[in-house]
């Protein structure tokens, strides 16, 4: 059976600027062939089972020739697979999308095109530059600035000058000298506003502003780099007035989030909403234990326990998974009291219609152990469902003053995340030493970070930590540690604003 190819525009960066259809198609893919400018958060939508093939092109370096890409799409579809060709921006705007469809059409391979948000419009918007304006520009012209080596730009600059309006050059940094020179030769005013917009629609965006007569010098002095677009026209002036992203409190900052992949979203999203560029770099992976005969045994005799304890959302999820696999539901928990560490764990419980009976003000194993020790009587039994490397302080505190029977069961395992996780055949370096901070939510994420970067100069790392145990682990490696006032994601984000 013949497969099908979806030519999908991934937009200018992260998943938030994807279309709903693009997200659905990506989540159903069996093969994903993707470019350099596709954001990491977009790639996180790709199913674990899908094959990922990187074919990116950056600054003249092509990981795969265009003809080979065309053949790859054809061969994958002929194997009966759902193939997603994922391209930055819109696939039909200087993306060679038409060329890639020609071979498919020739071989009668079914395909669909999913349009994407183009950087030609989105990036200026993120810098507060409206590409059209009733009083300044009634038209916008999107032009490629890319040229083959030693060949002149095939552009009628005279026509651009005569028509007026706003001009947006994509892929034009390497041709900046020729573009500006050609505009001036065509008769455009030297004082026409111009701007180079770098890393647009992301936290690390940078603008170099000037006019046609000085933008080349400013680009050289300020180190213009790709990816970037060039905007020429009177509307550029409005960027100073309408600039909104630069006014966000964490604009221009870059952070690394090390939480397990399934727990990253709230933290990463919170930082992005404040303007930060976020690199999601999970340093640990949560792996459920299936089958889990020990946990199943304790679930069968759950009524023997005074307290059921969860220390993380993952513990809740894995416990419930095992409970449901046993063809039981939350009624089996009955009248047993549930104790948790942290509001995130309590929130995970509420998704199953359960409310935590006990939660210490200080979110730590020691604090929870002390709280439960006061409530338990001699001989009471406590069941803890958590990771295989749980902090021993909880059990120690529970047993400090009373003969309490504690059953500490591994509901899941924590492993250091592989650098090439999820089948990617490229792994861009996160450059942690140049980041404005690295966020750690557990001691295990710190250890996983060290495992990934064992020779790093940790004294240059500013670590934002949840909890004393996490902070102590980061300090052990010599990091500059900032501990959140409360052990919550909200408090952790606030610590980056201080």
Rounded to 5°, angle at Cα 230 from 229 and 234: 135
Round to whole Å and give the CA distance between 317 and 295: 13
CB 83 within 8 A of CB 26: no
Query: Catalytic one among 43, 90, 161, 171?
Result: 171
If we measure between CA atoms, which residue out of 12, 2, 17 comes closest to residue 35? Answer: 12
Detail the DSSP E strand segments found in 26-185: 31-34, 51-54, 57-58, 61-62, 82-87, 111-114, 140-144, 166-170
CB 58 within 8 A of CB 78: no
Start-to-end Cα distance in the chain: 58
Burial category of 387 from C-beta neighbours within 10 Å (exposed 0-12, middle 13-18, buried 19 and up): buried
CB 72 within 8 A of CB 425: no
**436 part of the active site:** no
DSSP assignment of 344-379, as one string? HHHHHHHTTT---SB--SS-SHHHHHHHHHHHPPTT
74 three-class SS: helix
Helix (H) or strand (E) holding 197: strand 193-198
Identify the bridge partners of residue 382 per DSSP, sorted by sequence position. 307, 406
If we measure between CA atoms, which residue out of 204, 269, 179, 223 comes closest to residue 493? Answer: 269
Taking each helix axis from N to C terminus, what angle separates 265-273 and 489-497, rounded to the nearest 10 degrees?
30
Query: Catalytic one among 23, 57, 347, 482?
Result: 57
Distances in Å between the alpha carbon of 266 and those of 22, 46, 302?
A: 22, 19, 32
Round to whole Å and give the CA distance between 350 and 67: 53
Task: Give how far the C-alpha of residue 454 lies from the chain's centroid of Cα atoms, to the nearest Å.
Answer: 23
**214 part of the active site:** no
**469 part of the active site:** no
If we measure between CA atoms, which residue out of 370, 372, 393, 367 comes closest to residue 383? Answer: 372
| Radius of gyration of the chain from its Cα atoms, rounded to whole angstroms | 27
Positions annotated as catalytic residues are 35, 57, 171
């Amino acid at each position: 059976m013949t497969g099908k190819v979806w030519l999908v525009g991934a937009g200018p960066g992260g998943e938030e600027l994807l279309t709903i259809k693009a997200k659905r198609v990506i989540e159903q893919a069996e093969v994903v062939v993707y470019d350099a400018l596709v954001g990491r958060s977009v790639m996180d939508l790709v199913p674990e089972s899908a094959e990922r093939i990187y074919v990116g092109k950056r600054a003249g370096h092509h990981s795969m020739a265009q003809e080979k890409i065309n053949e790859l799409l054809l061969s994958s579809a002929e194997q009966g697979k759902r193939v997603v060709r994922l391209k930055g921006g819109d696939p039909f705007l200087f993306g060679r999308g038409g060329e890639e469809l020609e071979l498919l059409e020739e071989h009668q391979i079914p395909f669909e095109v999913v349009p994407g948000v183009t950087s030609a419009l989105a990036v200026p918007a993120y810098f507060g530059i409206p590409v059209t304006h009733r009083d300044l520009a009634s038209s916008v012209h999107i032009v490629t600035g890319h040229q083959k080596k030693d060949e002149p730009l095939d552009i009628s600059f005279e026509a651009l000058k005569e028509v007026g309006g706003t001009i947006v050059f994509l892929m034009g940094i390497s041709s900046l000298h020729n573009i500006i020179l050609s505009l001036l030769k065509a008769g455009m005013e030297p004082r026409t506003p111009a701007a180079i917009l770098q890393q647009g629609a992301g936290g690390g965006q940078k603008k170099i502003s000037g006019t046609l007569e000085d933008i080349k010098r400013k680009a050289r002095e300020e180190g213009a780099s790709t990816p970037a677009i060039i905007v020429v026209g009177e509307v550029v002036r409005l960027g100073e007035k309408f600039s909104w992203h630069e006014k966000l409190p964490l604009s221009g900052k870059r952070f690394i989030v090390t939480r397990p992949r399934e727990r990253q979203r709230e933290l990463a999203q919170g930082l992005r909403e404040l303007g930060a560029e976020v690199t999601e770099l999970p340093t640990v992976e949560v792996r459920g234990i299936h089958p889990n005969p020990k946990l199943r045994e304790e679930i069968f005799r759950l009524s023997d326990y005074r307290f059921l304890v969860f220390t993380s959302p993952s513990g809740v999820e894995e416990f419930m998974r095992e409970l449901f696999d046993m063809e039981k539901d939350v009624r089996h928990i009955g009248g047993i009291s549930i104790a948790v560490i942290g509001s995130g764990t309590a929130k995970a419980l509420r998704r199953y219609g359960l409310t935590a009976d006990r939660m210490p003000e200080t979110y730590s194993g020691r604090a929870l152990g002390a709280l439960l020790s006061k409530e338990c009587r001699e001989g009471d039994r406590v069941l803890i469902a958590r990771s295989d490397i749980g902090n021993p302080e909880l059990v120690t505190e529970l047993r400090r003053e009373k003969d309490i029977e504690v059953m500490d069961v591994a509901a899941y395992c924590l492993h250091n995340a592989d650098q090439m996780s999820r089948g990617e055949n490229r792994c861009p370096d996160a450059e942690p030493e140049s980041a404005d901070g690295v966020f750690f939510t557990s001691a295990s994420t710190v250890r996983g970070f060290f495992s990934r970067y064992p020779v790093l100069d940790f004294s240059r790392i500013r670590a934002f930590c949840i909890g004393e145990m996490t902070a102590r682990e980061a300090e052990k490696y010599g990091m500059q540690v900032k501990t959140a006032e409360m052990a919550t994601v909200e408090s952790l984000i606030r610590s980056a604003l201080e």
